[in-house]
Structure 1
Amino acid sequence: MTDTVRPGLKAQVATATRTFFISGFGTALEFYDFIIYGLAAAIVFPSVFFPGFDHTVGTLVAFAAFGSGFVARPLGGIVIGHFGDRIGRKSMLILTLVIMGSSTFLIGCLPSYQSVGVAAPVMVVALRLIQGFAAGGEWGGASLYGIENAPEDRRGLWGSFTSTGIGIGSLFGTGVFAVITLLPQEDLKAWAWRVPFWLGGLLVLIGVVARSRMPQEERRTEHAPRVPILDSIRRHPRQMLLAIGVAFGYNTLAYIGSIFTVTYAEELGYDYTESLLLQVAGSIAFTVAVPVMAKLSDRVGRKPVVILGTLAYGAFFFAYFPMVNGHALALATVAYVLVNVLMAAPQGCIPAFLGEQFPGSTRYSSISATYQTGAALGGGTAATAATALLLAFDGNPIGVGLYSGAAAVVLALCAWGLRETFKVPTAQLGSATKADRGAKAAVDTMTG
């Protein structure tokens, strides 16, 4: 019996490893690209691309440029998701990485404001828009590759491969920046900040090679509607709106927890290296906690883990700020670790939770459009809004805490309104419920 079981177990492990590498590693590289921009916006870009402001205002402007990439995300999600449903996942997943890697590498090659004037920040925004377009189709496709290849009782865990990839990408990005901040400030601002961008562009090639070896899918045209996103809006309007709300709440919390906190630590007097080391500790905690939370959702359900974890996350921010304010590095490290463990609760479940709301024929378009719309509304404005609130409250973080709490409530309420799906067979995912049929009838009435 042992000899019979072992080959099956080995095959499952091999399949899970291959799926993780295609899904999670690709997203790790994609998120590395985003995290290094966010960190550069907090540390270097105010002086390189947006001089003439004091540091906090310059950071606010740099974060606004960071947020510009989110404007293109919904468009990328719709366009790339459309072809992902119509012709298959593989080609779209390769395309997103190629665009993402090229844009990242080119950001590292841009001249400074002192060299070419206003053209420099204009080029930054242009490349951020291109990055955002690619990212709009990356997350949904990578998540679905994990979910659609998972055993019935492990969709949460396998769907979380992308979330684990986010942690790995964040860990690598913050680690690289932590190393380069050890250099003298003159070198950091003159050339060293470019190295993480060049490295990210080259590393994407590894993900492209891995995805090029994915099995070739059959054409999906005969199964998918002519315009999948319109079909999903007509058939599943309720899920679409609630999924946008979930993505809005989560991305608001996530970008406050991962990007704004770097700026906040620096405002308190932590040096660049200390603040990035805090991020490294948080990234490690997030990477470890994500699969644990996802596996828990396979056992007890998506909604309990998402809702309870989110409410705990929002509440903890009121303890987080006092813990960091004391400038005791050990206590601040605990605060960063706890923030990221709580952040992992919704993030570990969201790929499966949202993907399971829609049928396979429109799933790529639906999850990409809803998640990226929420990301644009929430994540694209979170760091900017939090920095503005900090200024408005004269450095008191209470405004940021209230903002985070409101986002947590939105996420929890929208998650509560979605269908619990962890026990629904894969073949039945996206089937209409009574509430769905009522919402569809309302849409049909409004559209005549």
Structure 2
Amino acid sequence: MTGPVRPSLKTQVTTATRTFFISGFGTALEFYDFIIYGLAAALVFPTLFFPSFDPTVGTLVAFAAFGSGFIARPLGGIVIGHFGDRIGRKAMLVLTLLIMGTSTFLIGCLPDYRTVGVAAPVMLVVLRLIQGFAAGGEWGGASLFGIENAPENRRGLWGSFTSAGIGIGSLFGTGVFTLITLLPQEQLQDWAWRVPFWLGGLLVLAGVVARSRMPREERRTEHAPRVPILESIKRHPRQMLLAIGVAFGYNTLAYIGTIFTVTYAEELGYSHTESLLLQVAGSVAFTLAVPVMALLSDRIGRKPVVIVGTLVYGAFFFAYFPMVDGHILALATVAYVLVNVLMAAPQGCIPAFLGEQFASATRYSSISATYQTGAALGGGTAATTATALFIAFDGNPIGVGLYSGAAALILALCAWGLRETFRVPTAELGTRPPANGDAGAGVDKTTVA
């Protein structure tokens, strides 16, 4: 009697590469759009859309507009996740890219405050809301495509393709903005800031083509409840709340580490180009570290990597600010690299860790709703809160450090409360464990698709 035929190494690599392109590359394009908005909010939007404010306060208002996009993310996660569970992942992943690409392109076409007055920031916020709605359904679906197609012992690694895509998108967006800051300030303010948005809108088309070629899925309506999110709340209330806490903590830390740090470098006198080059170095480090951390979680578990990495990350901010304060570019670069390597510890594991908490029939709705709610509460307010604390402490970053430490503690405690899932068979994910907490037993037939 022969055992099951295992796919060859070449086949596994081909499948992994294809999965990465569909989940990771698509998410890279989405987060390219987000990072260029965040950088524009730090560098040019205060002057173009909020010129009546003091420069620092204008930056605070620009970040508030940036945060408005997060308001729509939970709604996007619930709506798009619902149809992702009911009719399949493919259609929703194509839809999110189309919406995101169109809104990004249109931001690049907006008139500024001098041209149309208050209508300019209003239109900017409306397009941010549309972006947020699309992003709300993107991350969960892309993560699940990797997890649900992965070998049993590589769900962490394949789920991290989405996280690596975030790094690639951040790297590309930061790189593009670095190039345009080489132009004279007048040209940057006049027209050059629009180019990254136009480019992002066009690049999304490549992701749409890739996702349109995804394999056809079986209809999921036979397994999915009528309202998947309500079923998940009923079956997994504890996991839902803890997952929101994980997402809140991580997104707070991530947006301090990627968006506020640009403003901080600018306040210290780093040039636009220098601060963006620091971001490029950090993005490269993050992209390389993500799969390493995810693979480590496949070997020793999700919780050790997430918890230890998060606590070290939160503590490191107290060293990060003094390293950047010296205005020694080499030392600042080391600080940016280290903060991004540490950020990769939770992010590399979170897609699989959260996705593995829920059953297949409700997984898209569950992971999208919880992650995006946490992202809205944490990431949507992080840059604004950090900037406000920076102002309140009269330019001393200690308030931001304490804020980061609190977010890290919330993330670590919520991760501790979730099930360790790295050894649970895929078919048993989202089941209720028996009373003794054995993570690999206790299949709940009503929740497993």
TM-score by length of 2: 0.95
Q: Is the 8 A contact 1:27 1:162 kept in 2?
A: yes
Q: Which residue of 1 aligns with 2:32?
A: 32
Q: Is the 8 A contact 1:141 1:364 kept in 2?
A: yes
| Secondary structure at 1:381 match in 2 | helix
Q: Which residue of 2 aligns with 1:232?
A: 232
1:32 is aligned with what amino acid? Answer: Y
With 53-62 and 368-377 compared, the bigger mean Cα shift is at: 53-62
Q: Is the 8 A contact 1:181 1:272 kept in 2?
A: yes
Q: Which residue of 1 aligns with 2:300?
A: 300
- Write the distance in 2 (CA, Å) between the matches of 1:161 and 1:435: 34
Q: Which residue of 2 aligns with 1:163?
A: 163
1:434 Cα deviation (Å)? 4.6
Q: CA 1:6/1:75 → structure 2, altered by over 3 Å: closer, same or farther?
A: closer
Q: Which residue of 2 aligns with 1:440?
A: none
CA offset digits 1:88-138 (Å, max 9, x no partner): 000000000000000000000000000000000000000000000000000
Q: Which residue of 1 aligns with 2:48?
A: 48
Q: Which residue of 1 aligns with 2:61?
A: 61
Q: Report the count of equivalent residues.
A: 433
- Write the distance in 2 (CA, Å) between the matches of 1:55 and 1:8: 58
1:209 equivalent to 2:209? Answer: yes
Q: Which residue of 1 aligns with 2:12?
A: 12
1:255 Cα deviation (Å)? 0.1
Same amino acid, percent of matched pairs: 87
Q: Which residue of 1 aligns with 2:136?
A: 136
CA offset digits 1:389-424 (Å, max 9, x no partner): 000000000000000000000000000000000000
| Secondary structure at 2:360 match in 1 | coil
| Secondary structure at 2:109 match in 1 | coil
- Write the distance in 2 (CA, Å) between the matches of 1:119 and 1:9: 56
Q: Aligned-residue CA RMSD in angstroms?
A: 1.2
CA offset digits 1:300-342 (Å, max 9, x no partner): 0000000000000000000000000000000000000000000
2:175 is aligned with what amino acid? Answer: G
1:55 Cα deviation (Å)? 1.1
1:9 Cα deviation (Å)? 1.1
Q: CA 1:433/1:389 → structure 2, altered by over 3 Å: closer, same or farther?
A: same
Q: Which residue of 1 aligns with 2:120?
A: 120
1:392 is aligned with what amino acid? Answer: A
- Write the distance in 2 (CA, Å) between the matches of 1:423 and 1:152: 8
Q: Which residue of 2 aligns with 1:318?
A: 318
- Write the distance in 1 (CA, Å) between the matches of 2:117 and 2:434: 59
- Write the distance in 1 (CA, Å) between the matches of 2:7 and 2:161: 23
1:42 is aligned with what amino acid? Answer: A
Q: Which runs of 5+ in 1 are unaligned?
A: 438-448
Q: Which residue of 2 aligns with 1:87?
A: 87
Q: Which residue of 2 aligns with 1:430?
A: 430
Q: Is the 8 A contact 1:72 1:130 kept in 2?
A: yes
CA offset digits 1:194-226 (Å, max 9, x no partner): 000000000000000000000110100010000
CA offset digits 1:253-282 (Å, max 9, x no partner): 000000000000000000000000000000
- Write the distance in 1 (CA, Å) between the matches of 2:432 and 2:324: 47
1:433 Cα deviation (Å)? 2.3
- Write the distance in 1 (CA, Å) between the matches of 2:143 and 2:243: 15
Q: Which residue of 2 aligns with 1:190?
A: 190
Q: Is the 8 A contact 1:28 1:165 kept in 2?
A: yes
Q: Which residue of 1 aligns with 2:442?
A: none
CA offset digits 1:369-401 (Å, max 9, x no partner): 000000000000000000000000000000000
Q: Which runs of 5+ in 2 are unaligned?
A: 438-449
Q: Is the 8 A contact 1:358 1:429 kept in 2?
A: yes
Q: Which residue of 2 aligns with 1:255?
A: 255
- Write the distance in 1 (CA, Å) between the matches of 2:421 and 2:215: 28
1:157 is aligned with what amino acid? Answer: L
Q: Which residue of 1 aligns with 2:345?
A: 345
CA offset digits 1:166-207 (Å, max 9, x no partner): 000000000000000000000000000000000000000000
Q: How does 1:90-105 map to 2 (within 5 A)?
A: 90-105=90-105
- Write the distance in 2 (CA, Å) between the matches of 1:12 and 1:55: 52
Q: Which residue of 2 aligns with 1:359?
A: 359
Q: Is the 8 A contact 1:177 1:276 kept in 2?
A: yes
Q: CA 1:255/1:436 → structure 2, altered by over 3 Å: closer, same or farther?
A: farther
Q: Is the 8 A contact 1:282 1:336 kept in 2?
A: yes
Q: Runs ≥4 in structure 1, deviation > 6 angstroms?
A: none
| Secondary structure at 1:231 match in 2 | helix
| Secondary structure at 1:419 match in 2 | coil
Q: Which residue of 1 aligns with 2:447?
A: none
CA offset digits 1:233-257 (Å, max 9, x no partner): 0000000000000000000000000
| Secondary structure at 1:216 match in 2 | coil
- Write the distance in 2 (CA, Å) between the matches of 1:106 and 1:176: 18
2:372 is aligned with what amino acid? Answer: Q
Q: CA 1:435/1:317 → structure 2, altered by over 3 Å: closer, same or farther?
A: farther
1:291 equivalent to 2:291? Answer: yes
2:224 is aligned with what amino acid? Answer: A
Q: Is the 8 A contact 1:238 1:436 kept in 2?
A: no
- Write the distance in 2 (CA, Å) between the matches of 1:247 and 1:7: 35
1:354 is aligned with what amino acid? Answer: L
Q: Which residue of 1 aligns with 2:410?
A: 410
| Secondary structure at 1:284 match in 2 | helix
2:374 is aligned with what amino acid? Answer: G
1:19 is aligned with what amino acid? Answer: T
- Write the distance in 2 (CA, Å) between the matches of 1:120 and 1:135: 23
- Write the distance in 1 (CA, Å) between the matches of 2:43 and 2:436: 47
Q: Which residue of 1 aligns with 2:173?
A: 173
Q: CA 1:435/1:134 → structure 2, altered by over 3 Å: closer, same or farther?
A: farther
Q: CA 1:7/1:410 → structure 2, altered by over 3 Å: closer, same or farther?
A: closer
TM-score by length of 1: 0.96
